[in-house]
A and B are shown apart, each in its own frame.
Chain A
Amino acid sequence: MQAAGSEASVPVEPAGATSSAGHHATGSPGPVPAGFEVRELRVPLDATARVTGLRLLFPAGFGRKADRLAQEASFALATLARLWGPPPESGFSLLLSPPELLPPSLSDRPQVVLVERFGDPFREEAEALCLALARQWWRNLFAGDGSEEPYLEEGLVTYTAARLFAVRHGGRPAGVRIGGLALPLPLPPLTPFEAMRARLLAGAPIDPLARDRGSYGDRASRALLTHDGMALALAEIASRLGEERFDQGLALFAARHRGGRARADDLVRALSAVAVDDLWPLWQELTGEPGLSDFAVTRVRSEPDPSTPGRMVSQALIVHRSGPRLPLVVELRFADGSRQRVFWDARAAWLRLHATGPRLVEVHLDPGESGLLVHGKADDARLVVPDPGPRRRFTQRLRFFAQLVLEALADLA
């Protein structure tokens, strides 16, 4: 794939056709299946001499596609090395194939990336590539198979894949599939974390490699729905810590436990080392309750103060409906244009705010939309005096949209 805009295109060097079996200890696809070609590459990770190995397996005739995806993979590996330090020693391997040409015996390998036959990598391909590389990165960095605390590995893998995808493709219009056809429709793109949140809400399956939830022995893995839940928990911490600080913490975690065992508590310790506030309460909340956090503004009122003419007494009631009790910001907006923000730790089931002064106009929860695990809904903001204008406008648009669709469909007959 060609680099666009200011993105750097990373050169890839061929490294000959031979590679030892030990070099790809966990990522090796083993013998080359019939009808497939193999290509060994050395990917430079930065301006110094650091390189890592990349082995590509792809069906004969798919060389151009493999070249494009090799560029994509090299960019991803360089990004990972920049963010979180040196890669695992074992190198990386990818098996690129359309679903119909993939031998059934290889379909469950972590290095499998399902691809279309032609064209630039589509959204799903790029996501699958990021996921395969992230999986190999974290799995090969630590000792053990990750079965003790699988939610940690799965969460790190999913979070890493989403970050990689956002760095490379964030903000671009995405192609969509309709009835098996890939179409470049100009839809507003969802960021990877928004997409995860949407999938969590819908309870949709995450990816073909997802394990059965019942197979996890620990409470947090089940509660966090593994991939997306844990990745969103990490993203929530990153959003509260700041991404740069979070990356420092994750790099510290990787450096401390490289080649050894790593646990979730070790991750929180590493992140706490770079954080200003204590992270443990937030971590306990995130890993203790499934799903997204749901709050609502249920009542707002603003009335003249009987004791002081010209002054208003206002009240707002905010309730925690379900999910983890994540701290959030409540914003009160007044008639004179002033705004007041209140930080609520959400320890109690509800919060009643009293204000005296100008007339209260609206109340917003999480106005900056910084809480990834806070479920944004229509009840997160409320007007004191109802206004039918937006409803009239929206209804008219809805009617007209229905009219256009009806006319277009009816015109076919």
Chain B
Amino acid sequence: MSPGEVRRAMREAVLESARRPGLAVALALPGLLSAWLVVAPAHLPLARTLDHLPADAAPGASDLAVAVPGLLAPPDLPVLLHGGELSELVRTLAGHTLPAGVLAAAILLGLLHGPLQCAGLDALRHRTTGPGALLAAGARYALPASALSLLGLAGYLFSAGLGLRLLALARAGGAPDRAHAAVVAAIGAFVLLLLFGVRSLLDISRARLVERGPHDWIRPALAALARLPRLAPALALLYLGYGAARALLLAGAWSAAMLATGSWPGLAAGFLAQQALAAAAAALRLARLQAVRKLLRLAEVSSAPPAYKLELTGGS
């Protein structure tokens, strides 16, 4: 499959997804609602503390970086904010409420994402409109799509665990500088390959699920997975392209969040900008799935035997 064909599939998928803004909003809505629910318990302690803080002691942009200390900071070094003004409050929030809430909500949202993505793809494919059709499609794909999501989650965890285990083994090996660096790079590449495989498996299976329906998708999905070695370069290009575009969108959304002021018009403008960009990111996610579907079909068409017989005869 040529890079030109991949680019064309990507472009068509993005255009199709962009023509359905309602679909993008519907896909982004669960994330927004979950975030509001997760942060709701923090409202009262924040009001009690922040409302009496002078402007130059109020939290700034860098303060959000400490919200997940287990991920961003060395484990034995609790983070002090600049000036230490809100250290206690944010550490309390970050230490208990947020990580647990975010993790629980992410798992639930992850399970919800699968059916929603399939429903969105179904809506693109059959050009259905309205929330009723979307919900009906979501209900139809709920079971197999959730099972796929769990499978994907297990695949990611396995890949990450295997990578860490291999790194620990390499550390204990005692190889000198350069050899060790090469081993670490090889392990990194191997883990990336595994993650890529899991991602492809999920996307291909979902595309097949939508095309064949929930009762007859496993065998076609396995058949499609058999084509993965041939499809791999095209998929890698696709993921790189969409990943870069999504990163840009999310960086824009993050900047909008940081620029919002404390006044109501400023807050409203910031909120709308963020949600527009978040919806665009959701549309891009749907476009990726649509592009995978198109690539699969292209691969099938190019490898299928012709449906006619051509005989060349010539006269003298």
Q: Spell out A's residues near B (CB within 8 Å).
A: 59, 61-62, 64-65, 98, 100-101, 117-118, 176-181, 185, 187-188, 190, 194-195, 197-199, 201-202, 204-205, 333, 361-362, 364, 369, 375-378, 380-383, 386-407, 409-413
Contacts and interface: CB of A to CB of B under 8 A. Distances in A.
Nearest to A118: B177
Contact of A390 (B78, B167, B180, B262): B262
A59 B177 CA distance: 11
Contacts of A197: 80
Contacts, number: 227
Nearest to B111: A413
A380 B149 contact: no
B140 to A, nearest CB: 19
Contacts of B50: 378, 388, 390-391, 394
A361 to B, nearest CB: 8
A29 to B, nearest CB: 20
Interface stretch (B85-93, B130-138, B210-218): B85-93
Contact of A381 (B39, B67, B85, B112): B85
A18 B166 CA distance: 41
B176 A61 contact: yes
A308 B196 CA distance: 76
Interface stretch (B10-18, B30-38, B291-299, B301-309): B30-38
A392 to B, nearest CB: 5
Contacts of B107: 413
Contact of B174 (A101, A369, A380, A406): A101
Given A406-B105, A406-B109, A380 B72 contact: no
Interface in B227-264: 250, 253-254, 257-258, 260-263
A180 B261 contact: no
Contacts of A185: 72
Contacts of B80: 190, 194, 197-198, 376
Contacts of B101: 402
A198 B175 CA distance: 36
Given A188-B82, A406-B109, A410-B113, A395 B43 contact: yes
Contacts of A378: 49-50, 53, 57, 85-86, 88-89
B268 to A, nearest CB: 10
Contacts of A382: 52-54
B51 A386 contact: yes
Contacts of A392: 262, 267
B76 A204 contact: yes
Nearest to B71: A178
Contacts of A377: 84-85, 87-88
B43 A383 contact: no
B262 A117 contact: no
Contact of A401 (B28, B64, B114): B64
Interface in B70-104: 71-80, 82-89, 98, 101-103
A61 B38 contact: no
B174 A100 contact: yes
B288 to A, nearest CB: 10
Contacts of B34: 402-403, 406
Given A378-B89, A390-B59, 9 more contacts: A64-B177, A100-B172, A117-B181, A377-B85, A380-B57, A396-B257, A404-B250, A407-B109, A409-B106
Contact of A398 (B42, B52, B77, B254): B42
Given A180-B164, A198-B79, A406 B88 contact: no
A398 B39 contact: yes
Contacts of A181: 167
B209 interface: no
A201 B78 contact: yes
A390 B176 contact: no
B109 A410 contact: yes
B270 interface: yes
A315 to B, nearest CB: 15
A314 to B, nearest CB: 15
A205 to B, nearest CB: 7
Nearest to B86: A378
A405 B68 contact: yes
A394 B61 CA distance: 9
20 contacts: A64-B177, A176-B72, A176-B74, A187-B73, A369-B83, A378-B53, A382-B53, A383-B52, A388-B47, A393-B262, A394-B46, A399-B36, A401-B64, A403-B32, A404-B278, A406-B106, A407-B31, A407-B109, A410-B106, A413-B111
Contacts of A412: 110, 152-153, 156
Contact of A376 (B71, B84, B102, B181): B84
B65 interface: yes
Contacts of B270: 396
Contacts of B102: 402, 405-406, 409
B38 A402 contact: yes
A182 B108 CA distance: 31
B58 interface: yes
B168 A403 contact: no
Given A187-B73, A205-B76, A400-B257, A394 B156 contact: no
Given A394-B59, A402-B98, A404-B254, A179 B164 contact: yes
A364 B1 CA distance: 66
A181 B187 CA distance: 13
Contacts of A65: 177
B35 A406 contact: yes
A178 B72 CA distance: 8
B274 interface: yes
A253 B266 CA distance: 59
A402 B39 contact: yes
B183 to A, nearest CB: 10
A407 B105 CA distance: 10
B258 A397 contact: yes
B260 A391 contact: no
Q: Which of B53, B80, B282 has most chain A Cβ within 10 Å?
A: B53
Contacts of B35: 399-400, 402-403, 406
Contacts of B61: 397
Given A403-B32, A410-B106, A381 B53 contact: yes
Contacts of A410: 31, 106, 109-110, 112-113
Interface string B160-194: 00001001100110111110110000000000000
